[in-house]
Amino acid sequence: MYEYVPAVPLLPLVAFVVALVAGRYMPKRGALAGVLAAAGSLVLSVAAVVELAGGQAHAETLFTWAGVPGLELTVGYLVDPLSAAMLVVVSLVAVLVHVFSLGYMNDEGETGLPRYYAGLGLFTFSMLSFVLADSLLVAFVFFELVGLCSYLLVGFHFREEAPSSAAKKAFLVTRFGDYFFLVGLVGVVVTFGTSAFVGDGGSEAFPVLAEAVLAGELSADAVTTFGFAPETWFAVLGLLVLGGVIGKSAQFPLHTWLPDAMEGPTPVSALIHAATMVAAGVYLVARTYGFYALLPEVLAVMAFVGGFTALFAGTVGLVKDDLKQVLAYSTISQYGYMMLALGAGGYVAGFFHLTTHAVFKTLLFLGAGSVTVAMHHEEDMWEMGGLRERMPVTYYTFLAGSLALAGIFPFAGFWSKDEVLFEALVHGLGGNPLLLGAYVMGLLAVPVTAFYTFRMVLLTFHGEPRSATAEDPEPVRWNVKGPLVVLGVLATVAGVVNLVPVHEFVPAVPEVLHDWLFHGPEGLDGEHYEELTRRFAGYTAGTLVAGEAGTVLVSAGVSLALGLAGVVGAYRLYGVARPTEHTDRLGAVETVLYDGYYQDEYQVWLADRTADLAKVANRFDQGVVDGVVDGVSSVGLLSGRRLRRVQTGVVTSYALAIAVGLTVVLVVVGLVGGWLP
Amino acid sequence: MAVPTSYYVVLSAAMFCAGLFGILTRSNALTFLMSVELMLNAANVNFVAFSFHHGNLTGQTFALFAMALAAAEVAIGIGIIVTLYRNFGGTDVTIAREMRW
């Protein structure tokens, strides 16, 4: 049974406490506790997957947090194929990042390490708990905690100005999205009387209730819709929750925090801003997919935002000079693909891309971290070059990650990206022109991705060294190379978990992830979601040429050809001994791209315009809200100040008070009790 | 011929009121102590009277306990008064009023 599952998040929590309390006395400043805890979580997650493969999904309520009869807010966990698979992804990345941190932080002689490892532990705990959440409420709590950990770790070097302001920005921008999530959460609870993802004996899950209402099996009076038609009101709720998703998964227009968050230590960027926290948003959509699948408008918004973000962020990555900035925009772009997949009804495709992306993006970030160590914390790619011969392990693993990111056959990213685009294409052809628009944007992002990825690889590792440090980089140790090798192998082969196109032609080849996500508990499996999107959103699969098989081939062929075109383009421009800055030829466009389409500027402008409103709100908070609280306490304070005069210190008056009091009590008792006439 | 119980009760009430009057009007700590003794003994009179009235010995036993308690209380009371005298140069309880708001 699954009694050990709560230990998966609790182990890192223990590591957090240990690192915080005793970290400074420990040999590696708390790192070992973190590594052990994360490894323990990984082992238990794998055990859960193994057990789930032969058994049933399991949901358990741990305790009732608050509530009245009929509206109870409970805390519990849910182990189903989706959450178990995500647990493995998160804890695997966490282990590798902890090990890598030994090389990146400890060996570099950083100070404040117990704080760093405590942050990593708390983050791992929050993320794993978020994954296991059995209701929107619990998910929200850990969603917020994950944001807090991001704040703490981005601002790790809090004495410098840039990291601390980036930390604030990351917190505030994601908080802005979470505000909508909070309103949506309250809306869901009020509407359905529950926010559970899965029903237990007494109550149903909210997606199931929503489905029943929309299908007409349940009267619309069973839910509170505030006078709206159920479709409209559910779409509003879906969009509100999607606000939190867009903030956390760095989708346009709330993506601006992620590039700045690169100020944090590189392992943190790998763990939080590439593989897990940013994945929280996408995971939340996958978790509540039974609800989103009912709402065609919200799905369309999701697909369009995703496709647009994929293209838009990719173009910014084309011109960045800083290694981590390229990766940051690439992350935003890749999460766009996942949103596109989910919006296009590709539940499995979205989660598949999340998994492979977690692997290859962690790999790329850790590779970038390795380069950073070697280059003495120089991150400008124009100061690098020629690192291929000097750090072969980093080069070849980084290359594997880049090929995966660019979507080149047969690396992991090819399979997942192809499936994302395939889903968008067939559902678009099936009568959703909007999805076709999103598909075109996603397709255009393919060569862009391949181009910036290989521009990055070529500038960093190829050609001749362009600085003294690049001539003679600092060697890195096993604790850096080990995680890179593990991830490099995974990035190469992880695609085998879901060889859908191959399965199309050779049915003997299994599509493991697909089957895995399709065998979940009732109402939480991919098959059910597919039916929902068909029934409620009208998603039917169309074909291009020569039936389904032909469409698969054409889709894969087009995206692979575009990816290869991007790679060749990058090689033509930058694959020479002494590359020059071709971005200058873009003229004014370069400035626009380099500044990320002035998204920061307009958001700052907006923030300035609304400063007066914020001041009014602040005054309201200080004056009215705090005023009421202070007023209540001042009543007690004032009466206490008066009442204490009773304490004169003269013993006679106390004796008098006792005597009079006793007499009064006696008389009253006597009168009430009827002893006195 | 036995004295009726009500007489004892009246005596006891009178003693108690005398003690209470002493506490409320006097300011000398020694008078205080004596007044407290008076009130305590009013209770003792009640104990014995009702013990006799009901014909069981529990009340008399309690009276003995109360006497032992009173002895202990006097010992402590005298100690407090000595300290009071040392610190405030007198046994007037209205002078010692440091413990107030």
CATH of the domain at B47: 1.10.287.3510
| Other CB atoms within 10 Å distance of the CB of residue A162 | 12
Query: What amino acid occupies position A538?
Result: G
Among A645, A649, A652, whose Cβ lies nearest the Cβ of B27? Answer: A652
Task: Write the residue in B24, B27, B100 that is nearest to A647 by C-beta.
Answer: B100
Listed residue (A97, A260, A78) closest to A166, CA to CA = A260
In one-letter notation, the amino acid at residue A508 is: A
Q: Is A216 left (phi over 0), alpha (psi -120 to 50) or beta?
A: left
List residues of A whose CB lies inside 8 A of any B CB: 644-645, 647-652, 655-656, 659
The CA R_g of chain A, rounded to the nearest whole Å, is 29
Strand duo A58-68 + A71-79: pairing: antiparallel
Token code pair at residue A284? 């939340």
Q: Which of A399, A396, A338, A370 is nearest to A96 (CA)?
A: A370
Q: What is the pLDDT of residue A632?
A: 92
Q: In angstroms, rounded to a whole number, what is the distance separating the alpha carbons of residues A136 and A130?
A: 10
- Count the domains in chain B: 1
CB neighbours of residue A409 within 10 Å: 15
- Distance from C-alpha of A78 to C-alpha of A18, rounded to nearest angstrom: 27
Q: What is the pLDDT of residue A181?
A: 93
DSSP state of A380: B
The shortest C-alpha distance from B54 to chain A (Å) reads 22
CA torsion sign for A527, A528, A529, A530 is positive
CB A424, CB A346: distance < 8 Å:
yes
Of residues B20, B93, B101, nearest to A651 (C-beta): B93
Would you tell me the crossing angle of helices A161-192 and A230-248 to the nearest 10 degrees? 160
DSSP state of A622: I
Pairs of CB atoms within 8 A across A/B: 30
Task: Name every residue whose Cβ is closer than 8 Å to that of residue B67 and which is 6 or more positions away in sequence.
Answer: B44
**To the nearest whole angstrom, how far is the Cα of A644 from the nearest Cα of chain B?**
6
Let me know: does A367 contact A484? Beta carbons within 8 Å: yes
| C-beta atoms of B24 and A647 within 8 A | no
A648–B100 C-beta distance less than 8 A: yes
d(CA B44, CA A144): 70
Determine the pLDDT at residue B1.
Answer: 58
CA B53 to chain centre: 23
Question: Is A375:A323 a contact under the CB 8 Å cutoff?
Answer: no
Q: How far does Cα A671 stand from its chain's mean position?
A: 71
Q: Which residues contact A660 (CB under 8 A, 6 or more apart)?
A: none
Q: Which two tokens stand for residue A447?
A: 């060569």
Query: ipTM of the predicted structure?
Result: 0.86
Residues A235 and A292 sit within 8 Å (Cβ to Cβ)? no
The three-state secondary structure class of A620 is helix
List of chain B residues whose C-beta atoms are within 8 Å of the C-beta of residue A639: none
**Closest partner CB to A650 (pick from B20, B23, B97):** B97
CB B37 within 8 A of CB B74: yes
Q: What is the three-state SS of A136-169? A: HHHHHHHHHHHHHHHHHHHCCCCCCHHHHHHHHH
Contacts of B101 in chain A (CB under 8 A): 644-645, 647
* DSSP 8-state symbol, A71: E
Structure tokens at A593: 């791209």
Task: State whether B27 and A649 contact (CB < 8 Å).
Answer: no
Nearest beta carbon to residue B24 from set A647, A649, A652: A652
Q: Residue A23: its pLDDT value, please?
A: 76
Q: Which residue of A has its CA nearest to B24?
A: A652
Residue whose C-alpha is closest to residue A257's, from A267, A266, A265, A269:
A269
Close Cβ partners of A287 (under 8 Å, ≥ 6 residues apart): A82, A83, A133, A139, A197
Q: Determine, for residues A644 and B101 on separate chains, whether the beta-carbon distance falls below 8 Å.
A: yes
Question: How many whole angstroms separate alpha carbon A12 and alpha carbon A161?
Answer: 30
Distance CA A234, CA A295 (A): 7
How many Å apart are CA A399 and CA A484, to the nearest integer? 11
Q: Residue A334's closest CA among A445, A419, A491, A486? A: A445
Statement: residue B9 has pLDDT above 90: yes
Q: Which helix or strand (DSSP H or E) is residue A79 part of?
A: strand A71-79
Supply the pLDDT for residue B66: 93
Give the contacts of B76 (CB within 8 A, at least 6 positions apart): none
CA distances from A198 to A189, A220, A521, A525, A583 (A): 14, 21, 9, 11, 52
3-state secondary structure A282-327: HHHHHHCHHHHCCCHHHHHHHHHHHHHHHHHHHHHHCCCCEHHHHH
- One-letter amino acid at A72 equals E
Q: Please say whether the beta carbons of A234 and A206 come within 8 A.
A: no
Under an 8 A CB cutoff, do B23 and A652 touch? yes
Q: Which of A258, A271, A261 is nearest to A105 (CA)?
A: A271
Tokens for A43, please give them.
């082992």
Taking the C-alpha atoms of residue B57 and residue B51, their distance in angstroms, rounded to an integer, is 6
Instruction: Say how many C-beta atoms besides its own lie within 10 A of residue A646's C-beta.
Output: 11
Mapped onto helix, strand or coil, the DSSP state of residue B65 is: helix
Q: Determine which of A639, A641, A650, A656 to mutate to test the interface with B (most B C-beta atoms within 10 Å).
A: A650
Range of the domain at B16: 5-99
Please report the pLDDT score of residue B12 as a whole number. 94
Q: At what angle do helices A230-248 and A136-154 cross, to 10 degrees?
A: 20
Among all residues of chain B, which has the CA nearest to that of A656?
A: B24
Which of these, A239, A255, A444, A272, lies nearest to A343 by C-alpha position?
A: A239
Kindly determine whether residue B97 and residue A648, on different chains, have CB atoms separated by under 8 Å. yes
A476 φ, ψ (degrees, to nearest 5): -110, 160
Query: In chain A, whose CA is at the least distance from the CA of B21?
Result: A656
Q: Amino acid letter at A646?
A: V
Question: What residues of chain A score a pLDDT lower than 50?
Answer: none
Determine phi and psi for A574, rounding to 5 degrees. -115, -5
> Sign of the C-alpha dihedral, residues A593, A599, A602, A605?
negative
Q: Give A61's strand partners.
A: A76
- The distance of B68 to chain A (nearest Cα, Å) reads 24
The pLDDT score that the predictor gives to residue A201 is 60
User: How many angstroms separate the Cα of A242 from the Cα of each of A80, A150, A299, A309, A406?
Assistant: 23, 20, 10, 15, 28
**pLDDT computed for residue A585 by the predictor:** 75
Of B94, B99, B101, the CB nearest to A652: B94
